[in-house]
Chain A
């Protein structure tokens, strides 16, 4: 007699081994957060010259003036509070179009009433402040970075 119990077991094993979950939708987008801690060192310039402090994150290294880069979508910025002589500030950027690589993250100082009057005062870098570092964000990532602003020693200006 044919051992049909064995056949059943083989078939059931094949059922189970041959199955997985099948198709699945692309993973739902979970925004990534870039948390930037900024330390200011040395003496601040005069209070009336602080028209604005901003952090600007560039997808590609900047090649034009800051306003153009923001308008073209290459850069995203956020204002820091202007509290004078406060040497630690923090700000978050949130990204939904992921993954994204940010190749130049800078703290900018608007030193005049004209918005075009900006100066790079701190750049995200791993070791050498003259060599900006890039950072890559993926789904649901939270990345903390530090930028040091030395009021006496600004990094190379991009424009």
Chain B
């Protein structure tokens, strides 16, 4: 047992060590070289170490180091990158030169290392933190709807048509927070509400099969949420918002005399003290919803602690927690009464759901050329509809995912670099609905990057995975990837890639035995893994002149899917659903993504994705896929004002499951299930920036679905009607 005296001595020794290791205490400010205005959010890193800082809203930064002189590198989009020696003698003022054009020097970690987006051989889209504020994003899934080639159908994320509709079960897109997978052990679904919106630095969306690095579930792509880092300058941010739904245009849909309000509050704080950094956030959200029996109450919390053991070793510990109570809306009564649930639905039933993620990472620079990262995590999920256990519709499940990964990176020489790693994921489920099961997935990967040919970056990698499960004898999965990135000229970059993806069937798909709202889901323990192969050719073209910047990115892609798992009706007379490997599919298409910026703070973005999703078994279109996705936005800043228009078009599905219209006990399972319609959604935001009370404050009025256009987000589900929201966001 450790005595109090020993504990005290240890603490003193620890503090002394911490104190004595600090020789340099560098403070400074980063400004624009012409206007002398502070640059907010610039990234400062000490070369050869893991330490650094981000400038606060006055442009200040603060770095402590054991060396008396530091070589730091400053990066900020739109400015020239600068490296400079600094010491703690005097506060340093560093001037950055604005580039003559709006640089698109965006940094991504798609290849498990940070690099310029232009050097990545696959399509990557980014959502930046400011997008969450202007669009009043309260959950990541809503933000994803603006990303080129991405559709979100309720909880299903579909990247270039990878997913249809399966009640959110078995996502074909892996969802990560700082590299940790956040998929539930039972349903393998994405838990969007656990992410701390105010502490997001960026979200990366990697399109195409990505199992060569990310393993199971990266069948259609990867979504990686990267949280921000704390700075020595404290950050306190609050966001308060409230909005109300318009009354439906048609009297038949008007089910409430009261104002239907969604409201929420987010708080976030971050600061670094010496070698220790802390970030925390709390969010409360309450939804009346425009639909009856679709209420939601949610509380989410996040805490992340960082400690720099030395300049070459640091550790992070993050805890995400979310608890919610939500109504169990599944589909409408009919088109005539589209905003109420089917007659006879027990509206007293609510789903209680808790999620807890604990993740830690240890980063260590071994020497000048090699680096190691160890990740360890737990993701616990629980849900129940709180019925009596003998009720036929009782649902309950507890799942734990244990995650471990060791990654080793080595810059072998100037031309070659290597990334290798091993990973294990154990899904343990204890569930009334899905039974008691354990699924283990073990993986190992290696990727080599070569730059020996001028202007060419070649990447080759392979990963192997093995699923261990009692009910099925699984094969090894081998997931190779090849990528080429060629800089043809200053303006043009060409890329091509091939990758393979796979997804092991979730325990829910294999062992579900559940009845709800007319559906009866039965088990299929024999399910095999889904397989995908992606091929992409892309071109990125920057047209630059002294005042304007136009970036054009064109991709053509071909994805082949085998053994796709789909919920399938067992027969034509009952709504008995079984998940089965039945589909072989090909999805080919073209994506054109354009960004146009001017010196006058005007930005226009437009992307068009054409998809040809073919079920080659039945020789018809895949179900629940659009052929065309067209997303556009206009943003204009005339400080202190900012206005933004977002328009999204999604063509109607060509194919849906006709058996959703099965007649059971005298009525259709889903009334008017056959309806298909194009979607046109226009969102408008107007913001005013202010510096009241010495805080950076932004007032935003946001109107979602401003045209009040009525469309479907899924069969039997009318999409949100017009919603007017007011938001105040303030940062201290």
Contact = CB atoms under 8 A, between A and B. Distances in A.
Interface of A: 1-2, 4, 7-8, 11, 14-15, 18-26, 28
Given A1-B548, A2-B550, A21 B602 contact: no
Which 5 residue pairs spanning A and B have beta carbons closest together?
A22-B710, A23-B710, A22-B709, A25-B252, A25-B336
B302 to A, nearest CB: 37
Given A1-B547, A22-B710, A23-B675, 12 more contacts: A2-B596, A4-B548, A15-B645, A20-B680, A21-B710, A22-B680, A22-B709, A23-B335, A23-B711, A24-B249, A24-B250, A24-B710
15 contacts: A1-B545, A2-B550, A7-B596, A11-B604, A15-B645, A15-B682, A20-B709, A21-B249, A21-B709, A21-B710, A22-B711, A23-B711, A25-B250, A26-B335, A28-B252
A4 B596 contact: yes
A11 B250 CA distance: 29
A7 B250 contact: no
A21 to B, nearest CB: 7
B713 to A, nearest CB: 12
Given A15-B682, A28-B252, A23 B718 contact: yes
Given A11-B632, A23-B711, A18 B250 contact: no
Identify whether the interface residues of A are mostly helix, strand, loop, or mixed.
Answer: loop
B616 interface: no
B238 interface: no
Contacts of A7: 596, 604
B23 interface: no
Contacts of B253: 25
A19 B680 contact: yes
B141 to A, nearest CB: 22
Contacts of A23: 335, 338, 675, 677, 710-712, 718
B680 A18 contact: yes
A23 to B, nearest CB: 4
B647 interface: yes
Contacts of A28: 251-252
B116 to A, nearest CB: 25
Contacts of A25: 250, 252-253, 335-338
Contacts of A15: 645, 647, 682
A7 B596 CA distance: 10
A19 B550 contact: no
B654 interface: no
B626 to A, nearest CB: 15
B338 A22 contact: no
B598 interface: yes
Contacts of B709: 19-22
A106 B181 CA distance: 76
Contact of B336 (A14, A20, A22, A26): A26
Interface in B598-619: 598, 602, 604, 606
Interface in B682-696: 682
Contacts of B472: none
Contacts of B547: 1
B649 A18 contact: yes
Which residue, of A22, A24, A28, has the highest number of chain B Cβ atoms within 10 A?
A22
Nearest to A28: B252
Contacts of B604: 4, 7-8, 11
Nearest to A26: B336
Which residue, of A7, A8, A18, A25, has the highest number of chain B Cβ atoms within 10 A?
A25
B424 to A, nearest CB: 48
Nearest to B709: A22
A41 to B, nearest CB: 47
A30 to B, nearest CB: 12
B340 to A, nearest CB: 12
